[in-house]
Amino acid sequence: MQDDPFIRYVDLHKALGGKPVLAGVNLDVPRGQTVVVLGGSGSGKSVLLRHTIGLHRPDSGDVWVDGESITGLEEEQLIDTRKKVGMLFQAGALFDSMSVEDNVAYALREHTDWDEERILQRVREVLSLVELENVEALMPADLSGGMRKRVALARALVSDPQVVLYDEPTTGLDPANQRRIGELIRTLQRELHVTSVVVTHELELCFAVSDRVALLKDGRIAAEGAAEEMRESQLPDVRAFLDGVRDTPDDVQGGHAHA
């Protein structure tokens, strides 16, 4: 159903190295919208994102993708889910020994029976979507930071996913490339009608691309709401983050709230 969220995180708990990272996350990602998860460094944003494709498994709680619980699925059973979901990893995660063409084509060669001509046509299509042309023969070492991010984004898009996950997509980029990535996220949502989840600590990116914003703090969603509601929110946790104070005292935390 169109009204059902494409992704649901339900009472998600996860500890890493004995340290609680997620402590009861509840969040819905509506179909066709861009949800930004804000949070400070080490707040668990990337860990939350990786649960969406089974790279992390919850200690308790549930993850739903396109109406199906993926929490108990085996690796082979996750393949169908992963085909629906493209992910832009924080560092790009390109294969350094492969050309741009081979990086972007990798999933198609591994998971489809397409002939080479069709694969190369699709590679050119998605590179054009991210405003890169005639770079197929280049190696990752030949690319600028912004180009690497866009090649990684092309690779995330090549299988025509229904949702794209962005893990700190502008980290390490100069302001011009940060803006370009933000514009691409919005353009792709508008033109491809994809659902998007963006995790970031960058406020400019957040409000440039978001339909909804959720603040992750102390392992929980401290507040969530439409982008404009969150920008104007007077909740202490939200104001502290937006005003640049990363460590809000415990006595002003407050529980889950809608801005």
Contact 147, 177 (CB under 8 A): no
User: What would the pLDDT profile of 76-124 be if each residue is shown by its tens digit?
Assistant: 889 888 889 999 987 767 899 999 999 999 989 988 899 999 999 999 9
User: What would the pLDDT profile of 7-45 be if each residue is shown by its tens digit?
Assistant: 999 999 999 998 999 999 999 999 999 999 999 888 899
Contact 186, 207 (CB under 8 A): no
Q: Residue 47: which of 152, 164, 140, 165 has the closest Cα?
A: 165
Angle at 209 between CA 181 and CA 122, to 5 degrees: 50
Average pLDDT, the chain: 88
Q: Which fold has domain 5-94+144-245?
A: Rossmann fold (3.40.50)
- Long-range contacts from 168-174, C-beta under 8 angstroms, 24+ separation: 168/45, 168/46, 168/90, 168/199, 168/200, 168/201, 169/88, 169/198, 169/200, 169/205, 170/200, 170/202, 170/205, 171/90, 171/202, 172/145, 173/145, 173/146, 173/149, 174/145, 174/146
The DSSP 8-state label assigned to residue 194 in this structure reads -
Q: Tokens in use for 259?
A: 């801005």
Q: How many CB atoms lie within 10 A of CB 190?
A: 11
In sequence order, which residues have a C-beta less than 8 Å from that of residue 250 and are 6 or more positions away? none
Q: Where are the domains of the chain?
A: 5-94+144-245
User: What would the pLDDT profile of 201-259 be if each residue is shown by its tens digit?
Assistant: 899 999 999 999 999 999 999 999 999 999 999 999 999 999 985 543 433 333 344 44
Task: For the full predicted model, state whether its pTM sits above 0.85.
Answer: yes
Grouping H, G, I as helix, E, B as strand and the rest as coil, residue 113 is: coil
First to last CA, the chain: 27
Q: How many CB atoms lie within 10 A of CB 256?
A: 12
Q: How far apart are CA 29 and CA 229, in angstroms?
A: 17
User: What would the pLDDT profile of 188-216 be if each residue is shown by its tens digit?
Assistant: 888 888 999 999 989 999 999 999 999 99
